[in-house]
Amino acid sequence: MPNLIDFVKISDFEWELPVSFSTSMSVPVRIFATEKILEAALVDQSIQQAINAASLPGVEGHVAVMPDMHQGYGFPIGGVAATSYPNGVISPGGIGYDINCGVRLLASRIDVEEAAGELSNLAYALNHYCPTGLGVSGGIKLSLEDLKQVCETGSNWALKKGYATQQDLRRTEEEGNIKGADFKKLSERAKQRGLPQLGTLGSGNHFIEVDYVDEIFDQDAAEVMGLSQGKLVVMIHCGSRGLGHQVCSDAVQSLQSAVKKYGIHLEDRELVCAPINSPEGKEYLAAMRAAANFAFCNRQVLAHLARKAFKSVFLKKTKGYELSQVYDIAHNIGKIETHQIDGQLKKVCVHRKGATRAFGPNEIGIPSEFAKIGQPVLIPGSMGTSSWVMVGTPRSMAVSFGSSCHGAGRVMSRSKAKKTFSGSQLRTELSQKGIQIQAGSLAGLVEEAPAAYKDVDEVIEAVVGAGITKKVARLKPLVVVKG
């Protein structure tokens, strides 16, 4: 295990563990964090997991780790690793079980003071329209052919069904449709788990949150995004539900034999992987993309349902209740991208696990209206704390494969949180802060207690200090709906 003295300090917000630290490492590990955050991270296995990832076949440049880092399966959550394409490997552990878990932000023209008397009604309406909870089924009934279209065309299916607008798709990463998905690569179990779950939130740290724009730091960028001081916004955080989890479970199991077949040495068996250009690698990549498209469509349908909730509460009371899309971005995904690495443009498979794409201005792949400001980066806080809207920068392209953090990052396990906090007390504390809560269970609420997470503002200061994002707006919560 490394100690703080093993790191080379590049700046107050950037540290590097050189390849000389371990004979297994092919590339350095680059950490974006304050010294305080880095020291705290040395307590769990997150840095060791990054070291292990730096040994994968075909890994390029360096392994990047964000300040919201914590221990995950194989890779650290908050980790970014690029492998050469097509001769490097793809690893399910570098993407995660909740494939394309991500965040969508919608903006309204409703002033927070106008809405004050309707927040409890709004919390109830969102909970009513948007199904939550472990394994819950939704109101969207899919045939097997529908599910195939969802998995292979993503949010385009929702557009055809009237659940989306053209702007929604334009302001979604990959326009809500990652090419190369193949429904046939999903197991029957994955399909059966996905059939009833489109348009559902799930449990764990997934949520729908109504916030207001508390402070704007970049007025020009905020105007482009449609954000105004004091206006309500909606943040949706969820992923590919049981379908995505099953895709990862299937791959972790099946790729055990691929490791032996291709003679791959692993520092940790949780790093199970396969060459991208192998039959096994191609099969996982196609299934992962199908799950990612399901997740894009899932958040799109939830956005449609959130719009129905807002309309039911505000239609006869105030103007501006319509919710316009700001952006939708994944933070658990593998993408084929081109990056400048060691002075050369290289095509690589970028694994982002608990890390958000943060492309800078004028980069290919972001909507034209954001070309001058950079891609929106959405960073939810822990329940009851600030969330942030940022933009990517040219430096993120140079040092972090166009990536940033994805949230606050846990400092306490869910089991420890259950032993530490009281659900009723937490509900009372949030209520005293003026936050309306709709939760499926007190146990689930306790798992996501704010004290179980890092200070999101400190995490934000680290990525801003490192120059990989810029602040646009800070959001403050009013309503939280959780499974």
Stronger pLDDT, 203 or 288, i.e. the higher one: 288
Tell whether 462 is covered by a domain.
yes
The answer to whether 391 and 374 have CB atoms below 8 angstroms apart is: yes
Residues in the chain: 483
Per-residue pLDDT, averaged over 145-166, amounts to 98
Q: What is the mean pLDDT of the chain?
A: 95
Q: What is the pLDDT of residue 439?
A: 82
Q: Is the pLDDT of residue 318 over 90?
A: no
Rounded to 5 degrees, what are φ and ψ at 332? -135, 95
The closest alpha carbon to 237, from 210, 264, 215, belongs to 210
Tell whether 251 is covered by a domain.
yes
Q: What is the pLDDT of residue 138?
A: 75
Q: Is the pLDDT of residue 133 over 80?
A: no
Helix residue spans in 172-275 (DSSP H): 188-194, 219-225, 241-261
Least confident of 360-364, 370-374, 443-447: 443-447
Residue 343: partners with Cβ closer than 8 Å, 6 or more residues away: none
The answer to whether 79 and 105 have CB atoms below 8 angstroms apart is: no
Write out pLDDT tens, residues 421-465: 888 888 888 888 888 988 877 777 888 888 888 899 999 999 999
Per-residue pLDDT, averaged over 210-223, amounts to 98
Q: Is the pLDDT of residue 205 over 90?
A: no
Per-residue pLDDT, averaged over 365-386, amounts to 95
Strand, helix or coil for residue 240 = coil
Per-residue pLDDT, averaged over 57-73, amounts to 97
Residue 134 — pLDDT band, cuts 50, 70, 90? Answer: low
**Residue 177 and residue 299: Cα distance in Å, rounded?**
13
Tell whether 444 is covered by a domain.
no
Strand, helix or coil for residue 430 = helix
Q: What is the pLDDT of residue 364?
A: 94
Instruction: Return the CATH number at 305.
Output: 3.90.1860.10
Range of the domain at 83: 4-411+453-482
**Residue 50 and residue 86: Cα distance in Å, rounded?**
22
Our count of domains for the chain comes to 1
Residue for token pair 């800078």? 360
Torsion, Cα 202 205 208 212, to 10 degrees, reads: 180
Tell whether 430 is covered by a domain.
no
Q: What is the pLDDT of residue 209?
A: 97
- Exactly one of 206, 304, 351, 406 is catalytic; name it: 406
Tell whether 401 is covered by a domain.
yes
The answer to whether 407 and 398 have CB atoms below 8 angstroms apart is: no
Per-residue pLDDT, averaged over 330-354, amounts to 97
Per-residue pLDDT, averaged over 317-344, amounts to 94
**Residue 438 and residue 74: Cα distance in Å, rounded?**
33
Residue 162 — pLDDT band, cuts 50, 70, 90? Answer: very high
Q: Where are the beta strands (DSSP E) in 48-193?
A: 59-70, 77-84, 89-90, 102-111
Write out pLDDT tens, residues 10-34: 999 999 999 999 999 999 999 999 9
Residue for token pair 């109101």? 139
Write out pLDDT tens, residues 96-127: 999 999 999 999 999 999 999 999 999 999 99
By 3-state DSSP, what share of the chain in percent is helix, strand and coil, each rounded to 5? 40, 25, 35
Tell whether 425 is covered by a domain.
no
Tell whether 434 is covered by a domain.
no
Tell whether 256 is covered by a domain.
yes
The answer to whether 49 and 75 have CB atoms below 8 angstroms apart is: yes
Q: Is the pLDDT of residue 391 over 80?
A: yes
Beta bridge partners of 70: 77
Residue 190: partners with Cβ closer than 8 Å, 6 or more residues away: 242, 243, 246, 247, 250, 287, 291
- Tell me whether residue 406 is one of the annotated catalytic residues: yes
Q: Are strands 29-32 and 14-17 parallel, antiparallel or unpaired?
A: antiparallel
**Residue 436 and residue 122: Cα distance in Å, rounded?**
9
Q: pTM (2 decimals)?
A: 0.96
**Residue 429 and residue 451: Cα distance in Å, rounded?**
12
336: exposed, middle or buried (Cβ count in 10 Å: 0-12, 13-18, 19+): middle
